[in-house]
Structure 1
Amino acid sequence: MTQENFEVKLPLFEGPFDLLLFFIERDELDIYDIPISKITNDFLDYIKHLETLNIEVASEFILVASTLMRIKSKMLLPRPQIDEAGNEIDPREELVKHLLEYKKYKSVVDTFHHMEDTELMKEKRGNLTKELKSLAESTNVEAELQDVTIFKLMTVFEKVLKRFEAEKNKPVHQVIQYPYTIEGQKKYVVDEVKRKQKLSFTELLEAFPSRIGLIFNFLAVLEMLAQQILSIQIGEGFNNFWITKGENLPESTDTVL
């Protein structure tokens, strides 16, 4: 048997008995009447082939190889071994026994693998393997999608929902452009004082009933009091006061600004 034949026909086997069964099935040999010389030579050739490929040979292969050589040597003896009943002992008997047991267990394992593959192909609730694989092939993200599980999908969905609720319920700060400015209210108050000579503070408040209008008017009056553009005249009972002209009140309203 050549090295090229090994490369074509002999893959790496699970164990030495797996290799022996391969030889038996390949050559259609009778497992109860194994040509020990041929199968030993094939087995040793396979080990040599592994060594030429720098593949480490497992110890169980070495053990079976030595067993085969021992059986081969016993069968070459001119005087066969006899048991207590006077029957000839076949040196291959123990090997055949192990091969039959291995073949039986291997058959059971193959059956289990087939059953497992059949079960995996069944459609179950929540089984998205085929759908995810199909989606991955169409979007070129197979590696990522193959790791996706229902739990991961639900986790992501829950996070998206929480983020959506947070965006929906977060406070909205609406910027309102009020029709008031300090400069505008200063001009208004000065015009009213010039027109009326004095202006009741209560009357000024009533002219702008909104809270924002009151604040702008009050700030405008305070600023002009500090600039002495306006002055204060206390009313009776201290419940009211009057806004009058100050020393620095300009002739033109534009100068106030």
Structure 2
Amino acid sequence: MPLHEDYTVRIDAFQGPLDLLLYLIRRAEVDVHNIPIHEITDQYFGFLKQIDHVDIDLAGEFLVMAATLIEIKSRTLAPPKARAEADGDGGAPAPRDDVDPRHELVQQLLAYQRYRNAAEELNHRRDEFRLRYAATVRPELDRAPVDAEDAGVELEDAHLLDLFDAYERIVGSIDFARLGEHRVEYDDTPIALHQEDLLDQLRRAPMRRASFRRIFEGRTRLEAIGLFLAMLELARQRMILVEQNEDGGEIEIAVVEDPVEESVSDDASRGSA
């Protein structure tokens, strides 16, 4: 993209002057190690001129960077000898002539880019973690027997092992020996279709919930496997609830109500009334 193209940006859209410089460099499609300092400086000042209302606290760092860019630009325009004399004023040792005036700025940009990439990666992992369904393991050896008077204690959610236990009981109740010779079949049905099947079945059920066993009634083994995987995925996405009212009791699956859908349904019912 040409460097001179028009652009519109806002000062509060950037975390700081380095963020703005990276934006301009990416927009120009140039290597950060070879910054066209003259064009970037002109664009930077063009950006500052667009600011109508300046927040001193916010704009202070941008103005400091503007002064830095002017200094770097002047050093690149000056002959090497004059640049060495100017750098050596004040008693400080003059730097070598072959040192690129942009070097320090490039190092700052690279360091900032690394920090920003790390921050984006952490945000991405945080978003991924939010979609995970926390699974707890029941230590069988530490489980105390349930007294009759405590049989009505409600559990907030069924444990993951409860689901596997229930699934194993369903599969175990099928007498595969009576089915004759067993042939391994490949089922390429996408899990998404099983998810739609499960959600449709739950939405048509009374109270939009059904027992774990009822969901698998009349299903083939391949369908049961697909539905079970779909159930785990929907639970991970928090689109369904897996509930168990008592320890060792029946597991029920319920659809998580959609607030928008529920509001529309309520409005429709009130309108018909």
TM-score, with length taken from structure 2:
0.43
More relative contact order in 1 or in 2 (CA 8 Å, sep 6+)?
A: 2
TM-score, with length taken from structure 1:
0.46
